[in-house]
């Protein structure tokens, strides 16, 4: 029993020394710790995003989807917002009445990529989730919405067309 207690205290002492060394290392290498935590957080975010089936894309990535994969562009802003300026060839399905337009939306080809956007990306993210529930799989959300598109100096169309 005495030998077991000595072994226990020796192992505990080694464990505490390791913890102290780890804390000292973390203090000395705070920059590496921050980089590691940031990288890990980005990895988790991107992994969860891919698992959701809805990819956030930049204006440049959106342009590639449109030009190379013939993506269908869906603007989920209100009609008034749409008329003030929208992406070329965008179809307007306002978020407020999105589920009422289900029949029109189902006419879209489910095997084509869909690019959804709104003003900032929030309404289009919700609409993309609804489309995922309808069986659409190639869903993309324009990160930061039309604001990002305009800030990148990409063209917009004004009017109903």
| Dihedral pair phi/psi, residue 61, rounded to 5° | -65, -35
Q: How far apart are the first and last CA of the chain?
A: 87
CA distance 124 to 105: 14
Tokens matching residue 106: 């189902």
Nearest to 76 by CA among 129, 34, 31: 129
| Residue of 66, 72, 95, 118 marked catalytic | 118
Active site residue 79: no
Active site positions, annotated:
118
């Amino acid at each position: 029993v005495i030998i077991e207690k000595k072994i226990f205290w020796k192992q505990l002492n080694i464990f505490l020394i390791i913890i102290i060394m780890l804390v000292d290392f973390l203090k000395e290498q705070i920059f590496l710790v921050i980089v590691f935590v940031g990288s890990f957080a980005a990895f988790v975010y991107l992994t969860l995003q891919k698992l959701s089936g809805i990819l956030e894309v930049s204006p440049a990535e959106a342009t590639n989807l449109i030009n190379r994969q013939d993506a269908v562009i869906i603007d989920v802003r209100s009609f008034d917002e749409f008329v003030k300026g929208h992406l070329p060839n965008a179809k307007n399905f306002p978020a407020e009445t999105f589920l009422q337009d289900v029949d029109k939306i189902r006419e879209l080809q489910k095997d084509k990529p869909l690019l959804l956007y709104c003003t900032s990306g929030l309404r289009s993210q919700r609409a993309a989730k609804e489309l995922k529930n309808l069986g659409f799989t190639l869903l993309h959300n324009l990160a930061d919405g039309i604001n990002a598109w305009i800030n990148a100096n990409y063209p917009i169309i004004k009017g109903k067309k």
